[in-house]
Each structure stands twice: as C-alpha cells, then as structure tokens.
Amino acid sequence: MRVRNMRDNREKDRIPHKAVIRFCAGEQDECRTARMINYSSTGMYLELNYPPPKLGANLLIEVLENEELQNPMEEYRNSKTCYYAKVIWKKNLPDSNSEYGVGLRYLSSVPSER
C-alpha cells in the first residue's frame, strides 16, 4: 500500500514499512539504531529517541533483520542491505512516541555483502 499525503511536496509515493536500522554518520565510529517508518525510491523517514544527526550529514545505513536483533552473532552471517543517504530535514515530534523525525535522501545503494 502506497501513501500519498497531499500536503507533502514529495516526488515519489512512500511505502509504509517499519524496520530497525543502524546508521553511522560521517567519520564517527559510533553507530546508532533508529526506526524506519516508510521509504520511497528516493529516500526514507526515520524516528529517533535521541538528538538526530546534523542537517546535511551523510549516513551509512544498514537495515537489520529480526534475527540480528535477537542474536548479535547473526549479524556476521547474513548479507546486508546498506544505503548511503543525506539528512535533508528533521523535526521534533511532540505528539509521538518518538522524540525526532528525520528525512533522508539516498545518495546511492551499496550492494549486499555475500
């Protein structure tokens, strides 16, 4: 099911899909997790419970599978889907379970590791 909000100036329809992702910003060694809420062919929307990366920050994003969340050793056995994306907007979410919403635009996709 695709969702189009007429108030948005979006190029592409969004596809609702909840998943846990991990991202690393720039040259930092620290990676953090967030919830992906939806995506399109040009980007994705995340929700976070901590301050988001800076506007314009480039992120390396990994989509985590359920097995990896339950057993961290699975992370090294499975191929990964990764994306490079840029933070293009962010906002506070006062009426949500999350504190921040973040909009990302894909820079490129990284082939799965095998």
- Read off the tokens for 103: 């909009």
Tell me the whole-structure pTM to 2 decimals. 0.76
pLDDT one-digit tens code per residue, 22-40: 999 876 667 899 999 999 9
Fold adopted by 15-110: Thrombin, subunit H (2.40.10)
Give the tens place of pLDDT for each residue, 58-67.
999 988 877 5
Other C-beta atoms lying within 10 Å of the C-beta of residue 37: 17
Distance CA 40, CA 14 (A): 5
Task: Give Cα separations from 42 to 38, 78, 95, 99 (angstroms).
Answer: 11, 25, 26, 24
For the chain, which residues make up each domain, given as ranges? 15-110
The Cα 55–Cα 106 span in angstroms is: 14
Give the model's pLDDT for residue 30: 78
3-state secondary structure (DSSP) of residue 66:
helix
75 pLDDT higher than 70: no
Q: Is the pLDDT of residue 20 over 50?
A: yes
